[in-house]
Amino acid sequence: MFRKIDKLKESELEKMYNKFIALLNASSAYKLSKDEKAAIDEALEESKQGKFFTHEEVMEEARGKYPNLKFK
């Protein structure tokens, strides 16, 4: 992460700095919206029903769709 930060242009670094400061100065924890809560609940229910993909399946599909990207 530090290497990525070091490589940022000054304008990009300033934007990120302001975001970091805002995050650190936040007076309360982030509260999920109703839509976010509903999406999480839906995903958890589908997971319980076995409706999910393994990491390997997702990576295989991503490599097929985006062969020019380097995945770790």
In a domain, 72, yes or no: no
**What pLDDT was estimated at residue 29?**
78
Task: Identify the weakest region by mean pLDDT among 6-20, 40-54, 55-69.
Answer: 6-20
- Nearest by Cα to 18 from 10, 28, 27: 10
| Dihedral class, residue 24 (left if φ above 0, else alpha if ψ from -120 to 50, else beta) | alpha
Residue 58 is predicted with a pLDDT of 94
**Is the residue at 58 inside a domain?**
yes
Residue 70 lies in a domain: no
Domain span including residue 18? 2-65
pLDDT at 27 (0 to 100): 77
Whole-prediction pTM: 0.46
How many domains does the structure of the chain reveal? 1
Q: Is residue 12 part of a domain?
A: yes
